[in-house]
Amino acid sequence: PAGRLIVDEGARRALGNPDGASLLPIGIVEVEGEFHAGDVVEVLGPDRKAIGRGIVNYSASEIRRIKRLHSREVPRILGRQGSEEVIHRDNMVVTGE
Q: pTM to 2 decimals?
A: 0.94
Instruction: Encode 60-85: b = buried (16+ Cβ within 10 Å), e = exposed.
Output: bebbeebbeeebeebeeeeeeebbeb
CB 16 within 8 A of CB 51: yes
Average pLDDT, the chain: 95
pLDDT tens digits for 52-82? 999 999 999 999 999 999 999 999 999 999 8
